Structure 1
Amino acid sequence: MNGQQNPALEGRRTALVTGGARGLGAEICRQLAGQGLQVLVAARRREAAEEVCRAIGPAAVPLALDVTSAESVTEAVREALERFGTIDVLVNNAGVSLDGSRTALDLDDGILRATLDTNLVGAWRMAEAVVPGMVRAGYGRLVNVTSGYGSLALMDSGRHPTYRVSKTALNALTRMLAADLAGTGVLVNSADPGWTRTGMGGPAAPRGPELGADTPVWLATLPEGDTTTGGVFAERKPLPW
């Protein structure tokens, strides 16, 4: 990530979206840019992020970032802060679903570790790297992209066990961070986009990315003075979990 900030974008808040190079993440980036934010499109492959940025325009900047690597997270956040000074919004969108039709009695250690490393630990790494700067600034919006599959209240199947457990744990992380950050101006919430037509959701999903991105973007742009924090939301409404 080279060069200086576009003068036309000075004064805008800056959002970092992980997994921003395709599907839901790319749409979240597009909508945030449309609402006037400077957006860091973060992806493991910079070339993929660059393609999304070309489609969005000058409000989007590519950022190479692998949430499963602590070194990559540290370096990417350092680059972003050197260029923009602050990261005001973090959307932890990067995620994987690897266990297919497996059940809770069919554990694969490798799949479990890989799923948790991206869906839970990756989001945790990002929060650890970004939130201290938000606290110093007295403003921040952290959105963890979750799933209804992580709801204990709606847990009616043992299918996709590692994915479900990872999202349940991500919701717990949301609640813990929100409690730790109470009164700092940093709001932390989870957003369930619903079953969305993406590479993960598949072509049969009933919702397009535009609708799937609505709740994450809403939470990422809660106005100053709002106190909504520690919640899990779907379609902008609290989700039992």
Structure 2
Amino acid sequence: MNASTRIAVVTGAGSGIGRSVALTLAEAGWSVAVAGRRAEALEETASLAGGNVLCVPTDVTSPPDVTTLFATVCQHFGRVDLLFNNAGVSGPRGVGFEDLSYEDWRTVVDVNLTGAFLCAQAAFRVMKDQSPKGGRIINNGSISAHVPRPNSAPYTATKHAMTGLTKSLSLDGRPHAIACGQIDIGNAATEMTQRMQSGILQANGEVVVEPVMDAADVARTVLHMAELPLAANVQFATVMATAMPYIGRG
């Protein structure tokens, strides 16, 4: 990929994996647009990154916000070469399936799935029509795209759906030089996973402390996926803390 056209959009970039990926891309010479709901957090990401970073406060569940995000990026940078579709929420904790509220279900679905769809569609439209055309979309799946944790129906359902979205985008993007892959992450050390270091409910009812890995390890994997030529694609990658209780379940 030509270094002069390496323009990335990272959603959920105000913290955690999104921030780590934005910093890694910027360090590698990419121009990066960071998106998220919290303007102050985005500004902090930009200040840590240095380089050519554009902050665009965005609610990914809002079609007008997403339209504005990609219009702003195109106006500022001229094109989009990469979307890291990362924004997400985990949903309520410790709530049994029978006690889930409709509002909690909708919140997780709206952010994790509808938000990913809106951003992918906007990126797809830009990538299809720009010159030279094409680009790459990397969706943040999860280990939960494969197996659930207890009491995680909304999150798990959206992450399984993300896999279907990834496959559809891969197929529909072929005629337009748009590649799509998915990174499934297990136990990266972020705000969302702090509870794993104090103990998290297992399928057998036990509460167990789980190992975590540095989010920078995830970011390096995203960078590798992003910098492949468009003729090559990492369709699915699983990056996880080596000793987390995933392999060997059952």
Q: TM-score range by the shorter chain?
A: 0.7 to 0.9
Runs of 4+ residues deviating >6 angstroms? none
The partner residue of 2:239 within 220, 235, 240 is 235
- Verify the 8 A CA contact 2:11 2:87 in the aligned structure 1: yes
- The match for 1:159 among 151, 155, 159 is 151
Preserved contact between residue 214 and residue 235 of structure 1 (Cα < 8 Å): no
Could you tell me which residue of structure 1 aligns to residue 55 of structure 2?
Answer: 62
Provide the C-alpha distance between the structure 2 equivalents of 1:194 and 1:158, rounded to a whole number of angstroms: 15
Q: Counterpart of 1:5?
A: none
134-143 or 121-130: bigger deviation: 134-143
C-alpha distance in 2, partners of 1:224/1:128? 18
Structure 2 equivalent of residue 139 of structure 1: 134
Paired residues for 1:110-125 under 5 Å: 110-125=103-118
Q: Helix, strand or coil for the counterpart of 2:160?
A: helix
- Where does residue 176 of structure 1 map in the other structure? 168
Aligned equivalents of 1:104 and 1:174: distance in 2? Answer: 27
Deviation at 1:158, TM superposition (A): 4.4
Name the SS of the counterpart of 1:162 in structure 2. Answer: helix
**C-alpha separation in 1, matches of 2:127 and 2:103:** 34
CA displacement 1:83-126 (0-9 Å, x = unmatched): 11101100011000112123434332111100010000001000
Considering fraction of residues, name the structure with more helix.
Answer: 2
Residue of structure 1 in register with 2:97 after alignment: 104
Q: TM-score when scaled to structure 2? A: 0.83
Query: Counterpart in 1 of 2:144?
Result: 149
- Note if 1:95 corresponds to 2:88: yes
Alpha-carbon displacement from aligned partner over 1:178-229 (angstroms, at most 9, x marks no partner): 1111242111111112211111111625111111323333222222421x26
Q: Conserved in 1, the CA contact under 8 Å of 2:144 and 2:159? A: yes
Does the aligned pair in 1 maintain the 2:179–2:230 contact within 8 Å?
no
Are the aligned partners of 2:26 and 2:51 in contact in 1 as well (CA < 8 Å)?
Answer: no
SS, match of residue 165 in structure 2: helix
Amino acid in the other structure paired with 1:218: H
Q: Give 3-state SS (helix, strand or coil) of 2:194's partner.
A: coil
Distance 1:44 1:134 in 2: 24
Where 1:213 maps in the other structure, the secondary structure is: helix
Query: Alignment partner of 1:200: what SS?
Result: helix
Partners in 2 of 1:175 and 1:196 — Cα distance? 24
Aligned to 2:221: 215
Report if the CA contact (8 A) 2:8-2:80 is conserved.
Answer: yes
Whether the 8 Å contact between 1:74 and 1:129 is mirrored in structure 2 is yes
TM-score by length of 1: 0.86
Q: Is the 8 A contact 1:17 1:91 kept in 2?
A: yes
Please name the residue that 2:120 is paired with: 127
Aligned partner of residue 193 in structure 1, secondary structure: strand
CA RMSD, Structure 1 to Structure 2 (Å): 2.1
* 2:24 pairs with 1:18: no
